[in-house]
Each structure stands twice: as structure tokens, then as C-alpha cells.
Structure 1
Amino acid sequence: MTSPSAESAERRPQPARGGRPGRGPSMTQVAELAGVSSQTVSRVVNGRTNVDPATRDRVVTAMEDLGYRPNRAARALKSGRFRSLGLMVLDLESYGNTRTANAITLEAARVGYLVTLRPLGVPTIEAVSQAFESLIEGTDGVVLLVEASTLDRARIEFPPGLPAILVDTDQESSYTVVDNDQRLGARLAVEHLLDLGHETVWHLAGAQDSHPADARENQWRETLSRHGRTIPPVIRGDWSAQSGYEAARRIAAEPGVTAVFAANDQMALGLLRGLDEAGRRVPNDISVVGYDDMPESANFIPPLTTVHQSFDRVGVACVTSLVREIEQGVRTERTIIPVELVVRSSTAPPPGFTAATPDQGPPRG
């Protein structure tokens, strides 16, 4: 009896006569097994979209059956591209970085690009330079996902001719920038609380030297100033739930606080717990708005009113812009992704607030 493995070996196309011993299967063999042309196999290998889905599946199956692996170096020499993107990220601990990085890798795979991830660890120009040295060979373009204003001030300079995307930055440069609309998000959060009747809004800010934290704090100030409201002192956190919990002690000790805008949902989570332990009820005594709209925020106690950011759309925009520049030489200057306010149960009018009634005119005589 012939074993299954022997049968598989019999069906597998054999190397052409004169081929070198140990040489892997060729693109021609893949085409023969899939019943397509070599040009079709090439289009599949290079991630082209002009291939029928059923045909693509046959080619991919044939590649898997034969153990075919495209020679990236040879393809790069022929096309001038490696079909590889570099992703430099400060860290993967924050919710936003993780979601954006995930979206970038998924979208890159969809359009036929690999992604090489390079965590920086510290936001310094030296760290960026070292990361470039490790990514420059075999990479067609780079996404820099670093929330550090220190890099903005230093004015990053990438190697000449290397397409690059900057995420979460206010840097004015010759590189493409992709960002959520930080200013709109902060304005929506503050105006929501003012519209509920709160006299002013306190702010639990994010980490220093972070562009999103700076943008949200600046817009918080501008919105209060535009409405003629008192601007309370900023309370500084570090994006963590623990820093929100610690901030709650100071906020709870201020009897006049009725509304807080936290720069992210994780700090808002710690704030909710700290206020509860201090006997300050949310939203009866203090209203709280977060930022990010983490999936868990709908299950906080109470469910959190927050600003929804689409990190998936940011990731897709990064890859779309970078691939367009790599393949067509067309650069997008700046892409701003809109945000929206999601109202839940953590916000309400302040204690004792009575909405103004329309003027009924003088009493009838």
C-alpha cells in the first residue's frame, strides 16, 4: 500500500531536468499546478488586486502545496521595491498605539506588504536614528508612531527619498501626517459639560511631552476661555488608570468641582474608582468625560461618556498614504480623522441645577 505522504510526493511536480539539487519550486511550477499563467502568479505574489478571488485562492493553495516562497531580494532588485514597511512605535502599552499598530499591519497585509516593527523604548532622536539604521535596508517606507512633542521640537529628518508617515504630531514638515482630530474631540467634551449646566470643567491631562495630551489640554483652555469660564488648574496624569485614581483624591477634596474632562479612558477609569471611594457620586455629584472610547468604557460603572477615536481608520490611512507615495510618487500632506462624542451615563447636570425657562414676558394685568 502506498502511504499518503508517498502519494503527495507523486503528485508534486518534480524539478526540471538539469535543475540544481535542493533548488526550491519555481513560479512556473506554481502556475502549472494552479492552471494559470506565470504572470498571474506574479500578480498574486506582488499583492496586485486585479486577480479573480477564486484564481487567487488556487494560486495560494498551489504555493502552499509546493512550499513556494517568493524571493524578496530578487523581486526587490527587479522592481526596486521590497514591499516592506517599517513601523517605529514608542511602546505598545497604550491602547491607542496598540490599536493603530494592529490596523497598520492588517491593512499592509491586505495590500501585499510586510511590516517590520521596531519599538523605540525612549522618545529621543538617538533612538529614532538607531531604529532607522535597523530598518533602512529592505524597507520601502516608514510609519513613525510616537506621541512625543520632544521629537517635534527636534524636527525629525528621515533619510533622503524615504517615504514616511508621522502619526500624532503637530510637526510642520515635508512628511505626511495622519492624526485624529484632537482639537475637535476636546472641544466636544468640554462643550457637552458646559451645555449640561456646569460652570466650568476641570482637566485631568495626559503625560507631558505628548502631542495628544498637549492638543487636548490647549483646546480645553481655549474652549473655556471662549465661553468666558474660569480655567481651573491642570491636574497631570500619565495615561494610566493609577494616575487617574491618585488624581481623584485631589479632585474629591475640591468641593466646587462638578465636572472633569479626562484626557483618556484609562485615567477616567481610575478617576471613577477614586471618586467613588471618596464618596463623590458620578454623575450625581461630579460628571466625568473620557477620551478614546475603549471597548471597555461602555461597561465602566457608570458607563463612560467619552470621545470616540477611530484608530483603525488612522492605521488604514497610514498604509494607504504610504503605499501611494511608494508606488505612485504621490504624497498626501495631512490626513485628519474625525472624532465623535459618545454620551453615556457618567455625565449629567450639576447638583441643584435648574434649566432656565424661556422668558414668558410681563404678567398679564
Structure 2
Amino acid sequence: MAGVRRGGRPAVISDVARLAGVSPQTVSRVLNERPNVREETRSRVLEAIRQLDYRPNLMARGLVRRQAHTIGVISFDSVLFGPASTLLGIGRAARAAGYGVTIATPESFDRGSIVEAMADLTSHTVAGVITVFASQTAATSALHSLPGGLPAVAVEAAPDDSVPTVRIDQAEGVRVAVEHLLRLGHPTVWHVSGPRERMDAQARIEAWRATLERAGRPAPQVVPGDWSAESGYQAGLELAERQGVTAVFAANDHMALGLLRAFNERGIRVPEDVSVVGFDDIPEAGYLIPPLTTVRPDHEEVGRRSVETLLRLIDGQDDDAGESQDAGVAVPFVVPTLVRRASTAPAP
């Protein structure tokens, strides 16, 4: 069973954090063997765990704290790489903290379907809820359907600042992609976007346009897509008919894959004639022809941070600044990086 504090109560993660002088998420990082913890801090946490005989045992914690040890998650686009990877991160972080995960998937984005899915989710005993939506309307419907007082964290979209929200820094990811192409001498960069109703897609459009404007370059008309390889293929056929296209930024890798197919069919060489950059760094990105230059957002880290943030709310630690800047309700963006491969080259 879990370790017992003085007074007979089994130790919980906040006890370990208090004794070690760190935040609960730092304890979680040590338990999860994450690399981003200083060795001196790790030693303090491990010593506190030893002193308290703390063990994140699911049954013991549930009996002592008389609360559910299941996290509820509601997600719509679970087949897409980003949401699927976020769910993977949520599952791993939840298990490391001794929690199970229950997932609800609405039939559609309409409010009725979302409310029904949330009702089904909260009919189970859950300690808190994470919403994985990139639509402001959908996230608002989901979070407003929660029972009062149930802790909640949003991924990407929330109705207001009252709900802690874990986000990818879309603007930074787009900036590094577009500036990479401009440094290669391309006069401008075309953009194949995701669905306009999606916050992440809209954020990427705005960041693409802003980056071009800062560089004093013209922003071509956006070519709309829907995240699918098929929409990227159709966008590629359209761009193949235009003059002066030498660089394209696709809002995700699957659309970039479609672009590569369309350009190949039209005799357009990548990267000799047109450079292509994607977004997501899907596992297949390095095996495309040519290997795809892309932006890598750490979706699993988004999932992990969403669990850490929710557990702070569950444990009543939302106002404990602790050691880390992300200890309170405010959570920093997860910053993407550019992965350079063979699909980009100097402008022809």
C-alpha cells in the first residue's frame, strides 16, 4: 500500500512535493523518469519518496482520498496524428501517476453530440476531464457541459482564461518553417491550410501571413485543405498550374504528402523546382520521396502537460508556484522545432 505520513494518512504526491520543496509536476517528472529534471532536484525528490514511503498505488490512493482515479478525455479527431499523439501522451502520463483514462468521442462537432458524449463521460466517476479540441465552439460546448466543480483542462481551445489550456506554439512553428524557406532565397511561400473553423489551422494561416509581412514579402492566396492527403493532392494540382510557385508550406504532413504526389505527376521536381515544408513530423515523414522537411510539435508533451496541470487542480495545487514556471494555472506553450530533410533547397 502507499506510504504513511505521520498521523496515519498515506502519503500523496503533494506530500512528496512539499517535503522536497518542489512542485507536484516535478515529482511526476521524476516518477516518470523524464530527463528535464536537475540531478540535485531528482535526488531530493527520491529522498522525500523514501522518507514518506510514497508509492503511487491506484487502489490505496483511491481508498484514502475517496476520489476517482480515472481521468476523462473527450476528443473528436482521434484518427489524426496530432490528437492521437496527444492521447498517447495523456495515457502514459496518467498511468505514471496511477490514473486510468476513459475516452469519449462525439459523433460530430454539433453541440448535441458533444453534450451527449460529455454526459456519458461524466456518468462514470472521473477525477477530472481533459478536452482535446481545436475548435473553440466545440471546446466551449464540452466544458460548459461539465458538472460544477469538476476540474478540467483544455488542449488548444477553451472558452476563456478560467480554464487552464495547454497549447502548441503555432506561431513559432510556422515562423521557423516560413523563414527557413525565405532564407533559401524563395521570393514568397504559398500555404495549403487546414479547415478554417479549426483554431490551429487559423493560427497557422495568421502566423504564415505575419511572417511574410515582417519579411516584406507578398502573401499569396491561401489554398484551402482539410488535413487529408487527398486535399493536399488537389491543392498540388492547383498550384502546379500557377506561375512562380517555388515554395509551399502545408499545414500538416498528410497534405504535404498529397502535394508531393501531385507535383510528381505534373513533372515538378521537389526540391529542385518547388520546396515543400509540412507540419507534425509524422513517423513516415523521413521516408517520403524526398524525405520531408517539417515542423515537429511535441504532441505527446502536450498530453503529458495536460495531465500534470489537471492533477494539480485535482490535488488543489493550482496556486502553488513551486519550482517550475508551469506550476500554476498558466501553462507555457509547447515550442515546436524544424526538422530539415531533403524536400527544401535554394530557390531555382
Q: What TM-score results when the alignment is normalised by the length of structure 1?
A: 0.75
Superposition RMSD in Å = 3.1
Which letter maps to 2:330?
A: E
Higher relative contact order (CA 8 A, sep 6+): 2
Select the residue among 217, 238, 251 that pairs with 1:229.
Answer: 217
1:243-291 alpha-carbon deviations (Å, 9 max, x no partner): 1111111010012100000000111011111101100000000000000
| 8 Å CA contact 1:177, 1:335 repeated in 2 | no
Tell which structure's C-alpha radius of gyration is larger. Answer: 1
Which letter maps to 2:343?
A: S
1:361 aligned partner: none
| 8 Å CA contact 1:189, 1:307 repeated in 2 | yes
Which letter maps to 2:344?
A: T
Secondary structure, aligned partner of 2:131:
strand
Which letter maps to 1:92?
A: S
Q: 5+ unaligned residues in a row in structure 2: which ranges?
A: 17-30, 32-48, 319-327
- Partners of 1:181 and 1:149 in 2: CA distance: 17
1:318-352 alpha-carbon deviations (Å, 9 max, x no partner): 1101001101241522331111111111111111x
| 8 Å CA contact 2:114, 2:138 repeated in 1 | no
1:136 aligns with 2:133: no
| 8 Å CA contact 1:207, 1:213 repeated in 2 | yes
**Superposition deviation, residue 126 in structure 1:** 2.5
Matches within 5 A, 1:297-308: 297-308=285-296
| 8 Å CA contact 1:205, 1:263 repeated in 2 | yes
| 8 Å CA contact 1:125, 1:156 repeated in 2 | no
1:294 aligned partner: 282
2:34 aligned partner: none
Which letter maps to 1:230?
A: P
Q: What TM-score results when the alignment is normalised by the length of structure 2?
A: 0.79
| 8 Å CA contact 1:91, 1:120 repeated in 2 | no
Q: 5+ unaligned residues in a row in structure 1: which ranges?
A: 1-26, 61-68, 352-365
1:115-148 alpha-carbon deviations (Å, 9 max, x no partner): 1110123123323322221222411110000121
Secondary structure, aligned partner of 1:295:
coil
**Superposition deviation, residue 152 in structure 1:** 5.7
- Partners of 2:50 and 2:120 in 1: CA distance: 34
Matches within 5 A, 1:51-70: 70=59
2:335 aligned partner: 338
1:190-212 alpha-carbon deviations (Å, 9 max, x no partner): 11111111111100001231111
Matches within 5 A, 1:78-89: 79-89=65-75
Matches within 5 A, 1:93-108: 93-108=79-94
Percent of residue pairs bearing the same amino acid type:
40
| 8 Å CA contact 1:155, 1:171 repeated in 2 | no
Which letter maps to 1:176?
A: P
Select the residue among 170, 185, 203 that pairs with 2:173.
Answer: 185
- Cα 1:94–1:191 change in 2 (3 A) is same
| 8 Å CA contact 1:317, 1:335 repeated in 2 | no
- Partners of 1:103 and 1:343 in 2: CA distance: 25
Secondary structure, aligned partner of 1:232:
coil
- Cα 1:184–1:325 change in 2 (3 A) is same
Which letter maps to 2:251?
A: A
- Partners of 2:140 and 2:153 in 1: CA distance: 17
Secondary structure, aligned partner of 2:315:
helix
- Partners of 1:139 and 1:51 in 2: CA distance: 29
Secondary structure, aligned partner of 1:180:
coil
2:137 aligned partner: 150
Select the residue among 149, 163, 174 that pairs with 2:162.
Answer: 174
